Amino acid sequence: MSEPAPTQTSFVEPRPAATVMLVRDGGEGVEVFLMQRSAHGMFGGLHVFPGGKVDGSDHAERWATHARGPDDVAASATLGLDSGGLSYWVACIRECFEEAGILLALGPDGDTLRLHSPRVRSRYESWRARLNDGEPNVLDAMCTEEKLRLATDQLAYVSHWITPVDQPRRYDTRFFVARAPARQEALHDGHETVESSWIRPEDALEQFHAGQLNLISPTFKNLEAIAGFPTTEELLGAKRSIDPRTIPTIVPRIISSEGEGFDEILDVVGHGGRLNVDPS
């Protein structure tokens, strides 16, 4: 049975989701990994970061002992939740591997995972293919068989966005930033995403304003948040120094403007303010 369209008194409950901005040090400063979605799928043609819905396997109790980073109590406190916060970190890592081929994990030796040979890369490409095919619990199986721990400590929490209340599909999304590990190559999956590139946030914003990149508000506002840093070390240090309690929940609203077109207002929940966005 299809879900009823939302009305003024009945809105779709947003689904938990997580997104990660992968960054690296480039010749002219920090670069971020952007992918373009297929024209035929959801958010067709948009340029996006890796991310997606939090699923049931991300809540597995095993991650409390098979990840190097915050436990669920600490992760939940960071996000202002009673429980379940760690699942957002796990979802980030799972979606990043599924969509971009980058796996934030520690190998059997305890060091950052490096895909150092064609044989090893081929093995992990097979794991990624199983994820993209929708096979359940692949991340769990891969970590068990390959003796991996998730590097959840590499993710820094950046922002919190919720889809407007009048939309038929809504997401409650936490955005993170992480440095891409050496000896791993980021690449779109060729299905949901059809193009990808490393680009300076400043250049991405310039191309957006020139009409060359198609971005929605959460993407370009998060690009603004990571622009202007000369190194990934300084960027990550700055984001980790932010008190997570000061990170607002942002809910965009589209309103008719005077004349032609629309204005977008970003309601900052719990902070008594608004961010006015001019996407032109």
**What is the SS3 assignment for 27?**
coil
**What is the SS3 assignment for 33?**
strand
β-pair partners for 160: 174, 249
How would you classify the pairing of strands 51-53 and 249-256?
unpaired
Confidence check: pLDDT of 6 > 80: no
Question: Residue 54: pLDDT band by 50, 70, 90 thresholds?
Answer: very high
pLDDT, one tens digit per residue, over 72-122 is 999 999 999 999 999 999 999 999 999 999 999 999 999 999 998 999 999
Percent of the chain with pLDDT over 70: 86
Nearest-angstrom CA–CA distance, 33 and 188: 10
Nearest-angstrom CA–CA distance, 62 and 134: 21
Token pair listed for 20: 């990660």
Look at residues 47, 29, 28 and name the one whose alpha carbon lies nearest to residue 38. 47
> Given this model, what pLDDT does residue 42 score?
64
Element (H, E) at 159: strand 156-162
Compute how many other C-beta atoms are within 10 angstroms of the C-beta atom of residue 30. 26
> Given this model, what pLDDT does residue 266 score?
56
pLDDT, one tens digit per residue, over 121-172 is 999 999 999 999 999 999 999 999 999 999 999 999 999 999 988 888 999 9
Instruction: Write down all domains in the chain, each with its CATH number in brackets.
Output: 15-246 (3.90.79.10), 248-280 (no CATH)
Rounded alpha-carbon distances, angstroms, from residue 179 to 11, 85, 154: 37, 21, 7
> Given this model, what pLDDT does residue 222 score?
97
Question: Residue 53: pLDDT band by 50, 70, 90 thresholds?
Answer: very high
Tell how far CA 30 is from the center of its chain: 17
Query: What are the start-end ranges of the H helices in the chain?
Result: 72-79, 86-100, 118-132, 138-146, 201-209, 217-226, 232-240
Q: Which residue has the higher pLDDT, 234 or 40?
A: 234
Confidence check: pLDDT of 271 > 60: no
Percent of the chain with pLDDT over 90: 75
Look at residues 188, 199, 32, 197 and name the one whose alpha carbon lies nearest to residue 96. 188
Q: Average pLDDT for residues 227-232, to the nearest whole number?
A: 97
> 239 and 156 in contact (C-beta within 8 Å)?
yes
**What is the SS3 assignment for 209?**
helix
Q: Which residue has the higher pLDDT, 64 or 278?
A: 64
Average pLDDT, the chain: 89
Phi/psi for 20 (5° steps) reads -125, 135
Confidence check: pLDDT of 176 > 90: yes
Question: Residue 41: pLDDT band by 50, 70, 90 thresholds?
Answer: low
Token pair listed for 269: 């929940």
Q: Which residue has the higher pLDDT, 128 or 183?
A: 128
